[in-house]
Structure formats: C-alpha cells, structure tokens
Amino acid sequence: MAVGSSGCALEKLLKKGAEADIYVTKWFGEEVVTKIRKPKTFMHPKLDAELRRHRTIREASFLSDAKDAGVLTPFIYYVDSVKGEIVMEYVTGKRLKDVLLAERLEKVAPVCEELGRCIAKLHKKNIIHGDLSTSNFIINDRALTFIDFGLSSTSQRLEDKAVDLHLVKQVLKSAHGKIWEKVFQLVLRGYGEIAGSGQIDALLAKIKEIERRGRYARVE
C-alpha cells in the first residue's frame, strides 16, 4: 500500500484531478485530505519538478494568506515541497459546479453572491487566485470554502484582478452556458458589496479590454 511522505496511507482516492490526486487519509486520528502533485510524465522532468515544487509552496502559503483576507480555506497540517504533497483539513460538502448543475438558480443565488464577496476579499489583499473554476469552491451548510491555490499569485494590478474575474466568466460560460449571465451578475453584485461599485466599473472595462485582445474577437 502506498504511503505519503507524511506517513499517511494513500488508500482512498477522492478525486483524480488534473493538477493532483486527492486522497482521504488519517492524520493523528482525524480524517484529512492528502493532495499529491504526482510527476507529470508527459513533461520534461526538470520542468515538471520545478512546477510541482513551486505550486506546492505557493498553494500552502496562499491557503494561509487567504484566511487573513477573511476567506475560508482548509487548514494545512503538513507540506513536502519536493514530493509535492500537502496534508490538509477535509472539507466536506458539494462543489459549486455540481450545485449549479443540480439546483434552481434562486436557491443558489446567495452562494453566488458570497462567492463574489470572497473573491473581492482576496483581491483587496492583492491575492489573485488564478484558477477560479466552479469546481474549486466547496459548499456545505456552514459556509463557502475556497480550495486549490496552486496557480495563485500576489498583485495589485487591476489587470490581474480582471483576468481572475474573466476566468470566472469563462468557466460559467463554458460549463453553465444556460445560466451564466445571471450567475455572473450575482457574483459581481457580491464583489461590489466589498469592493465598491466604482471598482466594479473599472474591472468590467478592463475585462472588456482583455476580451478584445482575444483571438478573433470583434474588431469594431
């Protein structure tokens, strides 16, 4: 049986992600999650090792920085940057992606607004999440938890914050094509509550500019 560098038994695979494999394991008797960035064999080993090390460190530090910003994230118990391994709190619940696909919009509206508020809180502290996909938010009866900070960075530039929101828009459009506009409006409303409506206008203008730069975007 495989054992992680933390000593946790890697038996129960929760999710085989693109970035990493997620196992449910035990840590001092607690049920926890072990996230392992396994070597990507398609990549050059040097590039792969560097990326995994980088992202593991980044993820661990941003998981904790996000808490300072007032956004819920899993607690970290153990980090091994060379093996690309993080042991963290097991947050149970549903992914926003599945909730959006299953529930009526009215029911999930408050969560969408809360999502906007949380993104704004991160941005206020200049934390750019970098991967705001609907599968990276976990909802339970308690709250909304953000996960997966492997692509996060620090920046005060409006451009980077706008790219972050552009990603939200893109994911909604591609995976939730029928309701994306309404959901995005709700996210923006929540965001505005924290950041102010002036900031929303500036961001929307910037998002437009970014989209115009996209390939074959309308020239007019």
Partner 1 sequence: MERTVKPNTSNILGLGIESTAHTFGASVVNSTKILSDVKDVYKPPEGSGIHPREASRHHTEKAAEVIKQALEKAAVKPKELNFVAYSMGPGLGPCLRVGAVVARTLSSYMKIPLIPVNHAVGHIEIGAMLTGALDPVVLLVSGGHTVICAFEADRWRIFGETLDLSIGQLLDQFGREAGFASPCGARIEQHALSSSNLLPLPYSVKGQDVSYSGMLTAAKKMLHSGKPFDDICYSLQETGFAMLVEVAERAIAFTEKKQLLVVGGVAANRRLSEMLKEVSTRHGAGLYVVPLTYSGDCGAQIAWTGLLAYRAGEEIQVERSVVRQSWRLDQVDVPWRSS
Task: Give me the active site residues, please.
Answer: 131
Question: Contact letters (x/-) for partner 1, 124-153, by CB under 8 A?
Answer: ------xxxx-x---------------x--
Q: Which of 17, 39, 70, 110 binds partner 1 (CB under 8 A)?
A: 17
CB of 74 to partner 1, least distance (A): 19
- Residues between 70 and 129 that touch partner 1 (CB under 8 A): 97
Interface residue with partner 1 among 9, 47, 102, 204 (CB under 8 A) is 47
- Distance CA(47)–CA(220), nearest Å, equals 41
Q: Which long-range contacts (CB under 8 A, 24 or more apart) does 159-164 make?
A: 159/206, 159/210, 160/128, 161/123, 161/128, 161/203, 161/206, 162/203, 162/206, 162/207, 162/209, 162/210, 163/128, 163/210, 164/119, 164/123, 164/128, 164/129, 164/130, 164/132
- 216 binding partner 1? (CB under 8 A): yes
User: Is 208 a residue that touches partner 1 (CB under 8 A)?
Assistant: no
Judge residue 172's burial from the number of C-beta atoms within 10 Å of its C-beta, 0-12 exposed, 13-18 middle, 19 or more buried. Answer: buried
Strand partners, 14: none
In whole angstroms, how close is the CB of 94 to partner 1 at the nearest point?
A: 15
From the list 12-20, 74-82, 84-92, 183-191, the region that binds partner 1 by CB under 8 A is 12-20
12 or 173: whose CB is closer to partner 1?
173
Rounded Cα distance, 2 and 155, in Å: 39
Q: How many residues bind partner 1 (CB under 8 A)?
A: 36
Supply the minimum distance, in Å, between the C-beta of residue 155 and partner 1. Answer: 12
Shortest distance, CB of residue 176 to partner 1, whole angstroms?
8
Considering the complex, what minimum distance in angstroms separates the CB of residue 117 from partner 1? 20
Give the E-state strand segments of the chain in sequence order.
12-16, 21-27, 30-36, 76-80, 85-89, 94-95, 127-128, 137-139, 144-146, 153-154
Does position 49 interact with partner 1 (CB under 8 A)? The reply is no
Share of the chain residues as helix, strand and coil, in percent rounded to the nearest 5: 50, 20, 35
Binding site for partner 1 (CB under 8 A): 16-19, 40-44, 46-47, 51, 97, 130-133, 135, 151, 163, 167, 170-171, 173-175, 177-178, 210, 213-219
